[in-house]
């Protein structure tokens, strides 16, 4: 295997891994945001039931 081909394959693999990690991080961020909004909405809807 030539040096240039080896570098190309390494760069290709690194790009694929980076793209996959970016997608996973984006999905986790969106899911966390939605869960936070839903949780906040539940708290606001039950605000009258909270006693201090």
10-25 mean pLDDT = 96
Q: How confident is the model at residue 15 (pLDDT cuts 50, 70, 90)?
A: very high
DSSP, residue by residue, 2-51: -HHHHHHHHHHHHHHHHHHHHHHHHHHHHHHHHHHHHHHHHHHHTGGG--
Whether the CA torsion 35, 36, 37, 43 is positive or negative: it is positive
pTM for the full model?
A: 0.72
């Amino acid at each position: 295997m030539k040096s240039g081909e080896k570098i190309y394959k390494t760069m290709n693999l690194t790009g694929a891994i980076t793209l996959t990690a970016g997608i996973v991080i984006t999905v986790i961020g969106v899911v966390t945001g939605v869960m936070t909004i839903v949780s906040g909405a539940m708290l606001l809807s039950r605000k009258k039931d909270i006693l201090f």
